[in-house]
Chains A and B, each alone.
With several copies, the nearest count.
Chain A
């Protein structure tokens, strides 16, 4: 099957610092991929490039067989993408952030209905109805009129997930979505992601430090180190028999710390 995400020799630099170094990465439709690795290895950057929050410095990213950040010109060659093209490609992707980034001036329902109304052009009634359904799905039926400041961290993160889903993306990106949460509420967020993974046809890309969850959730784990994939494979392969030395060292440090 054609990959739905395809990184082709993608390079990303910040000034002198090369954060991604000719990265190749394919993700198949409906595949669940976890990205693990030390701090600064470029994990977040991969997600941010897909979400077009950053520009790439080299290579091409294809999403759903369309190049993003470059678009085909009438002559067939690739030219830099304009805003309209970017917005079309971007519509296929949803992202959940480490710090939720909910809109503090809107209720949970407002957070989930605003983009469908403004961007997808849904009627207010339809958007609100769907938003309420999604909030129920993430277990927040009784909190739809609460503002983010009135919700716990776990609840906020679940609203953020519902908000992304309301845009009906094909691909969902999760960036350390539990690392800003109290330990006791981490479980409720992972539960929602777990049920998403089994019940929907979504391609999922997840940066995480929850090794246990990554093992259970993913079809594949990629270990990042210095802007490249140092090692990848099925969870049991990577976690139980890492061949790469850096992977071994990382897993030792992380598992030791609990």
Chain B
């Protein structure tokens, strides 16, 4: 089987268009995961036991169930009780909630790495818990874990093909559909592989820059 450039040029625009869907779902899901994950991590770090336990159970439950099942439930089971969410919103919600639990672990590591002395200094200066988090602890906890969060961004990119379950066609599904139609998988799959590489490298670079920018000011 040879590699046909003409054919590649033919499928490229189709896949490029579908890649916008990939990007939308990934970035939307990641934004949600980053914010919700931070919230979960902070709630879990509080001394108030019921909240801590509830958050831990939630995280454990979400992480132990495949994303596929969560997507399915959100899109096909929730309408049974009258809750109808559009496909893309479901996709972003499921990706976001699922990965927020992973992000929470990452943030937790960041929080753990803030020396106890920083908390104690904040207490000795009489900061409220809220100020301690927002002004003292998070500005130190978040920048070092930005690269680890970036890894999940890349993982999420690669996870998006699963959204076909709920009728969202991103670039990988598009490539496989084209392949099914023509029985030439090599070119479309190659295009998608290259796009994945491109996205991953771009976001890795972006994340590194962002992380450097966050810390750079006080290295």
Binding site for B on A (CB under 8 A): 51-53, 87, 90-91, 93-95, 97, 99, 101-106, 114-115, 118-119, 147, 149, 163-164, 167
Is A114's CB under 8 angstroms from B135's CB?
yes
List B contacts of A99 (CB < 8 A).
117
Q: Taking the nearest CB of chain A, how far is it from the CB of B94, in angstroms?
A: 35
Give the distance in Å from the alpha carbon of A114 to the alpha carbon of B120 in the complex: 15
Q: Which residue of the partner chain, among A53, A104, A105, A114, contacts B124 with CB atoms under 8 Å?
A: A53
Is B125's CB under 8 angstroms from A119's CB?
yes
List B contacts of A102 (CB < 8 A).
121
In the complex, which of the residues B121, B126, B135, B139 has the most CB atoms of chain A within 10 Å of its own CB atom? B126
A-B contacts counted at CB < 8 A amount to 60
Which residue of chain A has the shortest Cβ distance to B121 in the bound complex?
A101
Give the distance in Å from the alpha carbon of A147 to the alpha carbon of B219 in the complex: 9
Which residue of chain B has the shortest Cβ distance to A50 in the bound complex?
B124
Please, could you name 21 A-B residue pairs with CB atoms under 8 Å apart, sorted by A? A51-B123, A53-B124, A90-B123, A101-B120, A103-B121, A103-B136, A103-B140, A104-B218, A105-B217, A114-B135, A115-B127, A118-B127, A118-B135, A119-B127, A119-B128, A147-B218, A147-B219, A149-B218, A149-B219, A164-B124, A167-B126
List which B99-156 residues lie within 8 A (CB) of chain A: 115, 117-118, 120-121, 123-128, 131, 135-136, 139-140
In the complex, which of the residues B128, B135, B140 has the most CB atoms of chain A within 10 Å of its own CB atom? B135
Give the distance in Å from the alpha carbon of A222 to the alpha carbon of B120 in the complex: 25
User: Chain A interface mostly helix, strand, loop or mixed?
Assistant: loop
List B contacts of A147 (CB < 8 A).
218-219
Is B217's CB under 8 angstroms from A95's CB?
no
Is B123's CB under 8 angstroms from A97's CB?
no
Interface size class of B (residues with CB under 8 A): 10 to 19
**Interchain residue pairs A-B with the least CB separation, the first 4:** A101-B121, A101-B117, A115-B125, A95-B124
Q: Taking the nearest CB of chain A, how far is it from the CB of B181, in angstroms?
A: 55
Is B120's CB under 8 angstroms from A52's CB?
no
Which residue of chain B has the shortest Cβ distance to A119 in the bound complex?
B126
Q: Which residue of the partner chain, among A52, A53, A105, A167, contacts B125 with CB atoms under 8 Å?
A: A167
Check A91/B126 contact, CB under 8 A, given A101-B117, A114-B135: yes
List A contacts of B135 (CB < 8 A).
114, 118
Which residue of chain A has the shortest Cβ distance to B120 in the bound complex?
A53
Which residue of chain A has the shortest Cβ distance to B217 in the bound complex?
A105
List A contacts of B139 (CB < 8 A).
105
Which residue of chain B has the shortest Cβ distance to A48 in the bound complex?
B120
List B contacts of A95 (CB < 8 A).
124
List B contacts of A114 (CB < 8 A).
125, 135
Q: Taking the nearest CB of chain B, how far is it from the CB of A99, in angstroms?
A: 6
List B contacts of A119 (CB < 8 A).
125-128, 131
Q: Taking the nearest CB of chain A, how far is it from the CB of B25, in angstroms?
A: 34
Give the distance in Å from the alpha carbon of A164 to the alpha carbon of B131 in the complex: 17
List A contacts of B218 (CB < 8 A).
104-106, 147, 149
Give the distance in Å from the alpha carbon of A106 to the alpha carbon of B137 in the complex: 12
Give the distance in Å from the alpha carbon of A91 to the alpha carbon of B118 in the complex: 18
